[in-house]
Homo-oligomer: A and B are copies of this chain.
Amino acid sequence: MEQMEILARDARESSRLLARLTSAEKDRALLAMADGLERSVDTLVTANLKDLEVGRSLKLSGAMLDRLALDPARIRAMASGLREVAALPDPVGRTLAERTRPNGLHLRKIATPIGVVVIIYESRPNVTADAASLCFKTGNATILRGGKEALNSNRLIAEILVTAGRSVLGDRFPEHAIQVVPIADREAIPALLSLTRYVDLCMPRGGEGLIRAVSECSKVPVIKHFKGVCHVYVDRDADLGMAENILFNAKCQRPSTCNAAETLLVDRPVAEQFLPGAALRLLGKNVEFHAAAESLPLLKKGVGDRSAVMRLATDTDYDTEYNDYVINVRIVDGVEEAMNHIAQHGSAHSDTIITGNEATARRFLAEVDSAAVYWNASTRFTDGGEFGLGAEIGISTDKLHARGPMGLEELCSYKWIGVGNGQIRG
């Protein structure tokens, strides 16, 4: 696909120019982009109407159409997102390590842009401005590929951003800094992701199917977020009131998120005391229980015999991210068995232990191999904003380069700069 080759080569060339921009220039461009979006409310809404038509002809659900829709308020929200990114410190050029070697050679490890980043996502056009701005702030050229039903909106957003950037920086703002894959063709993605010469990184955002398809076909490094099967483990030494609050928050505060809990593990000695009340609390949100056999009677003790909201858990249940008011419940024999369950069924995303026993907590924190591990706190905190990263491009469940919430620093690579006065190797 020659078209993808040109797109990627253009991005690579633009990335060299992006690396030369000063922090002040980048921020000036971001503010102009925000203004540009706000000035384009009418044309954006018009372009978006075409997309909504496409969406309806594709028989998208009401929820999907809602995610696709742009209105003046959403456009203003995109603009203020850009202004927030402009206000963040520039992570590029930070000194990460520094030393002078015995021969006098001075070494400095500094943060650099990664180069060319491909972002693949579904539907929501606000991701276009969001991802483009974070990549631009870090000096990366971006190639964006949203849902095919959002193509008109996405292309126009990219055009507005580039035009705004060039209006303040002129030719110093590279023409191909922000590109949208201009065709909906399915083969565009594998073609693009085979161009290891030009593309440095791909970040897919969306459902497990999309992520899996992208990882399968990509020759380019992928940082991904497969799924969030997060656990709340209530230990024998837990403050059970605290445990119930954390469980309720982790499950019910926003079940559609990746850091919501999917499975409750309860230590045997406190199961009888904890489960009936916890079940009743969750029932308040109509939570459905998929429970291991021995926990069923204890749940029923809390909520009565409502077979509609309760069934035996299967192994598949323990591996499932429901994104909904559903929870698996299992009684375990202590922290060891809880950790074994998490190792077997977890997605290495976010897991929490509720306990008053420091030794038990320390073991859990040390041995559970997840991006974020909590002691006496909700799993819902795994988030760039909650971590104070300033902005979030995504959450990685991988172990290389970035793990957990990814902010601006995680959109950087680094290089070593060696300054000498004639040093040669002996």
Contact = CB atoms under 8 A, between A and B. Distances in A.
A400 B219 contact: no
A414 B410 CA distance: 13
B112 A419 contact: no
A279 interface: no
Interface residues of A, number: 66
A418 B373 contact: yes
A366 B401 contact: no
Contact of A413 (B367, B403, B422): B403
Interface string A387-426: 1100000000011110110000000011111111111110
A422 B253 contact: no
Given A377-B105, A403-B413, A422 B115 contact: no
B418 A381 contact: yes
Contacts of A417: 365, 372-375
A374 B245 CA distance: 56
Contact of A253 (B115, B221, B424): B424
Contacts of A112: 369
A245 B19 contact: no
A415 B371 CA distance: 5
B423 A381 contact: yes
A111 to B, nearest CB: 11
A273 B381 CA distance: 64
Interface string A350-392: 0000000000010001110111111111101110001110000
Interface of A: 16, 19-20, 99, 101, 105, 107, 112, 114-115, 196, 200-201, 215-216, 219, 221, 223, 239, 242, 245-246, 248-250, 253, 343, 361, 365-367, 369-378, 380-382, 386-388, 398-401, 403-404, 413-425
6 contacts: A114-B400, A200-B400, A201-B399, A374-B420, A376-B423, A399-B413
